[in-house]
Amino acid sequence: MTNEPGTYVGDGEPTVDASLRDRPAELLQELIRFDTTNPPGAERACIEWAAELLADAGIDSELYAKKPERPSLVARLPGGDAPALMLYGHVDVVPTSDQAWTHPPFSGVEDDGYVWGRGALDMKSGVAMFVAAFLRAAQEEIDLAGDLVLCLLPDEEAGGDDGAAFLVEEHPELFEDVDYALGEFGGYPMELAGARLYPVQVNEKQVCWIRVSATGNAGHASRPSRGDAVGRIGEALVTLDRERLPYHLTPPVEEMLDRMAEQVGEETAAVLRGLKDPATVDESLAALGDEAGTFEALLHNTANATILSGGDKINVVPARAEFTVDSRLLPGQTDEDVAAELRELLGDGVDVEVERFESGPEETELGLFPLLDDVLRDADEEAVPVPYVLPAATDGRIFARAGVQSYGFTPMNLPSEFDFQSLVHAADERIPVDAVEFGTDAVYDVVRRYDRAVK
Ligand SMILES: [Zn+2]
């Protein structure tokens, strides 16, 4: 294992052209062409390519790796005495198996005004924006109020153990002076009953992995078998599919709903306020149309069955069957809370065990939000930025342990017909070329305007 950082410096023979900073969509195409499907990730070639790009601009970067094939990159531009600002993103992507793509997912094709490929949204486009903005800041020699840190990571999609968690645990000194960071998700429109909101993630749900199992009589499959392991697991699956876990209104979500309600018309505001009352929540969710699923996830712990197993021989009734549950908890909820909810819902026929729980950020610090708000409104006059709790998890939860408040800020001026949610992690993931440029300009604007006054 190479725990010691390696330094990348320019060798006078650039293999990658730093002028890509001015063509961030092309930069994105290059990033997509590295197949960083996680597992296994194998992000080294992609990370080294980024190090070469920085080296061509005369910027040294340090690589830190828990596993040699999966380094993280950290680079820093010196600034004044204000707290450092960090830009971070992950270069790994989720698998593409069993998906039908119009263009091969790692070809990085530009077609019809879009860059296509796995990672076009999550989140090689964000990485392209951050790298391009960082290079621009270096090239323009802007007067940075504090250091500007760039951090590119492996392994976000599988939990971050080899990426952000390794860095925060083994090299916490890297983040000592960092108060705020830009990462995923946010800065692009959410159409909500006619309002063009730009959610900016400031908190997120927590990941809890659970195993639900049943045991019963094993035996020869030629004899009738009822109520055994497989049947009870089947019942639990059906229940999980039909029912919802209990309603909770948590403080960060309440603040988000209040801020959203202040920014939208009276009719939408009434719907948002309706979400704050268990008596009216269902009616309000129904009124939200396409966004209902997002808000449902922000008002409940969720639990989806993912991997099913049981039996290994076709003529033997198995003594044990099980499934895993990917559960996402609201801020402030614990693994014990959700396990109790699942036991209550699924009954005595199955066992519920927590396999892994990572608690997420507790507090939200909104000191950088006004600047992000200004930048987005300058970039899109219809933008109504709002702080947002993400119904999923990102590396933000890990950096929170190092005292870093993350903001989901990879801005994209997506047209209203563009369905972001249905393309992330799915076939034909793509991003308008224009949106990559919009985001790069907005991130650069934050870097330029970030000053001592923000906190
Ligand atoms: Zn991501």
330 and 228 share one domain: yes
Q: pLDDT value at position 7?
A: 72
35 and 108 share one domain: yes
Using the 3D structure, point to which of 305, 340, 358 is the last residue of a domain: 358
The CA 147 to ligand 1 mean position distance, Å, reads 25
Sheet holding 351-358, edge to edge: 302-310, 320-329, 206-215, 351-358
The CA 122 to ligand 1 mean position distance, Å, reads 4
175 and 212 share one domain: no
The CA 223 to ligand 1 mean position distance, Å, reads 49
The CA 453 to ligand 1 mean position distance, Å, reads 30
The CA 410 to ligand 1 mean position distance, Å, reads 11
The CA 393 to ligand 1 mean position distance, Å, reads 9
Q: pLDDT value at position 32?
A: 98
- Domain membership flag for residue 366: no
The CA 318 to ligand 1 mean position distance, Å, reads 38
171 and 234 share one domain: no
Q: pLDDT value at position 3?
A: 45
Q: What are the residues whose beta carbons fall under 8 Å from the beta carbon of 62, sequence distance 6 or more?
A: 5, 6, 7, 8, 73, 74, 75
Q: pLDDT value at position 172?
A: 97
- Domain membership flag for residue 199: no
Q: Rounded to the nearest 5 degrees, what angle is found at the Cα of 165, between the Cα atoms of 303 and 366?
A: 75
The CA 249 to ligand 1 mean position distance, Å, reads 26
Q: Tokens representing 206?
A: 């927590």
- Domain membership flag for residue 174: yes
Domain limits at 354?
206-358
Give the residue from 93, 65, 301 showing the smallest Cα distance to 206.
301
Q: What are the residues whose beta carbons fall under 8 Å from the beta carbon of 47, sequence distance 6 or more?
A: 63, 71, 72, 73, 91, 152, 154
- Domain membership flag for residue 441: yes
The CA 200 to ligand 1 mean position distance, Å, reads 14
Q: Give the chain's length.
A: 455
Q: CB of 206 within 8 A of CB of 359?
A: yes
The CA 185 to ligand 1 mean position distance, Å, reads 8
Which residues on neighbouring strands pair with residue 152, listed in sequence order? 73, 89
The CA 35 to ligand 1 mean position distance, Å, reads 15
- 185 cis-preceded (ω within 30 degrees of 0): yes
168 and 285 share one domain: no
The CA 128 to ligand 1 mean position distance, Å, reads 13
17 and 156 share one domain: yes
Q: Report the number of distinct structural domains present in the chain.
A: 2
268 and 415 share one domain: no
402 and 345 share one domain: no
> 112 in the Ramachandran plot: left (φ > 0), alpha (ψ -120 to 50) or beta?
left
21 and 56 share one domain: yes
Q: What is the CATH number of the domain that holds 238?
A: 3.30.70.360
Q: What is the CATH number of the domain that holds 96?
A: 3.40.630.10
- Domain membership flag for residue 198: no
- Domain membership flag for residue 406: yes
134 and 33 share one domain: yes
- Domain membership flag for residue 62: yes
Which residues on neighbouring strands pair with residue 267, listed in sequence order? none
Q: pLDDT value at position 14?
A: 57
- Domain membership flag for residue 373: no
Using the 3D structure, point to which of 308, 335, 358 is the last residue of a domain: 358
The CA 184 to ligand 1 mean position distance, Å, reads 6
CA dist., res. 387 & res. 300, Å (int): 19
Which amino acid makes up residue 264? V
179 and 295 share one domain: no
> Is the torsion defined by CA of 381, 383, 387, 393 positive or negative?
negative
State the residue for tokens 């018309």. Answer: 265
The CA 123 to ligand 1 mean position distance, Å, reads 5
169 and 82 share one domain: yes
Q: Tokens representing 322?
A: 């099980």
Q: Rounded to the nearest 5 degrees, what angle is found at the Cα of 106, between the Cα atoms of 158 and 431?
A: 85
Q: Are strands 195-204 and 190-192 parallel, antiparallel or unpaired?
A: antiparallel
The CA 63 to ligand 1 mean position distance, Å, reads 20
The CA 43 to ligand 1 mean position distance, Å, reads 14
Which segments in the chain show pLDDT lower than 70?
Answer: 1-5, 9-15, 452-455
